[in-house]
Structure 1
């Protein structure tokens, strides 16, 4: 449709508007020339047009990518809040299906799984870097039930929170290295 071109030739790309339009003028001339040389020239020019248009994302694609990036950023910031997926989508002012699609296309996992991954990463960091009780870490990562948090943490990391803390304690490692010197 002319009102919604696949690629906008506005000269904003590396190849200017005049050069873009020049390809079409040269293509028309090659087609009018005909014969083997005209066919060869037209073929080469078609390839150049395809390459040029393929390197220019459509304005709609740029807007969608920017929106998806903003959604993912906001989701990462809100991941530790104890919200349901529908509450999270509402706080981000998008419908749940749009949130699902944006997260799935950007990360390869659904929003619930991404939230769990983000929460587990934060929990691991808190366990390794602080002496906070597991109950407090559960709360800080969006879980009201510490027992559920512990079961989920164990399932995802294959070690309990206390075992993970013992094995990954960053402060102890730093102290051990100073004694080794």
Structure 2
């Protein structure tokens, strides 16, 4: 079962390297997450090829000896090995997506960075508003939601699309379960 995990981890490390190279030497990009997603997706065939080419006996926790282990157990083990490694790759990507968006979009993080960058290590609320205009922050967020197909603008009003309604319901239920109403 270790083979799949190691290949999944290898593909994720390669993803991080490619992301860094692409963003440093080919950027900036307007649709950054699309580029990140495409790098992730482009490595899925590599995962499959590596999994296929690397010997099945390497790093298996269950002995591949048919005398010791039934064929059914071996077949299930191989499928689980592949799926486990692939899911590791997917979950590492999802975690990285959260990390990336905290860095890219978090107002709290931006404020703390701005405070550190200021020579006196302090900034007034008015100075922060000049750097991070609340109106511009909302424009950017709404533009992103329109571009991602979650909402549409009609005659100056916004409404959820089907995708937006599904996400709103999913996260609304999650907020109720976690008791984080209202806001937050």
Give the alignment's TM-score, normalised by structure 2. Answer: 0.30
Instruction: Choose between structure 1 and 2: higher strand proportion.
Output: 2
The structure having more radius of gyration, on CA atoms, is: 1
Q: Which structure would you say has the larger RCO, counting Cα contacts within 8 Å and 6 or more residues apart?
A: 2
Give the alignment's TM-score, normalised by structure 1. Answer: 0.30
